[in-house]
A and B are shown apart, each in its own frame.
Chain A
Amino acid sequence: LAKTTQPISMDSYEGQEVNITCSHNNIATNDYITWYQQFPSQGPRFIIQGYKTKVTNEVASLFIPADRKSSTLSLPRVSLSDTAVYYCLVGRYSGGGADGLTFGKGTHLIIQP
């Protein structure tokens, strides 16, 4: 099952586009890629999910290259309220394993005025 690697922290300014990349070299054929957002003292919230190429919703875009060994969450024109921790999850599980539920420490995104 895939493990993910994300930057520990990033910062940017209001109005900028922010891209957070997640590496998942061992992604399996059936694995989907899911991103969550978490504000302090709140539970994570689903942002976007994809399998390949590009997915876009009202909040973000998710870019996945052909080899699927990485993915990039893109947040357009960020605001101060986008300051949060972002988690990349990959995979599903079968049997007793649960690697696909490993949130880890995520990427701390700080947006400055």
Chain B
Amino acid sequence: DSGVTQTPKHLITATGQRVTLRCSPRSEDLSVYWYQQSLDQGLQFLIHYYNGEERAKGNILERFSAQQFPDLHSELNLSSLELGDSALYFCASSVESGGLSSTDTQYFGPGTRLTVL
């Protein structure tokens, strides 16, 4: 158990809909990262927040957005869903602000499996 929680574990929805995925980081961590993992694309970095502020964006679609709240939990919002958005969505947390710094380790949650029908 990494200490990072994600809800829901599974989510099935239809095309065109909007969903929100939630992540609670470890109590000592200020950074939250979101990743998408599909069978053909591997693990893709989406976005990173540190202490409520966006730090970096990866391959995140305009239909997707995220935020980190004052209590440091984060939500990933996916809208106008398409079949291709079906994937595992992971969040990770870490102590430091800069990604892979000298001592930074990311702790991953169990993921949310999104299925778009």
Contact = CB atoms under 8 A, between A and B. Distances in A.
- Chain A at the B interface: SS class: loop
A100 B99 contact: yes
A61 interface: no
Given A32-B100, A32-B102, A89-B100, A106 B42 contact: yes
Contacts of A51: 102
B112 to A, nearest CB: 11
Contacts of B77: none
Interface in B44-58: 44-45, 48, 56-58
A94 B55 CA distance: 9
A43 B3 CA distance: 12
Interface in B1-58: 2, 4, 33, 35, 41-45, 48, 56-58
B48 A101 contact: yes
A102 B35 CA distance: 10
A97 interface: yes
Contacts of A98: 45, 48, 56-58, 99
Contacts, number: 81
Given A42-B110, A45-B108, A104-B42, A92 B33 contact: no
Interface in A65-82: none
Nearest to A89: B100
A98 B35 CA distance: 12
A93 interface: yes
B116 interface: no
B108 to A, nearest CB: 3
Contacts of A46: 105-107
20 contacts: A32-B101, A34-B105, A38-B43, A43-B4, A43-B92, A43-B109, A43-B111, A44-B108, A46-B107, A92-B101, A93-B98, A97-B56, A98-B45, A98-B56, A98-B57, A98-B99, A100-B99, A101-B100, A103-B42, A105-B41
Interface of A: 31-32, 34, 36, 38, 41-46, 49, 51, 87, 89-94, 96-98, 100-106
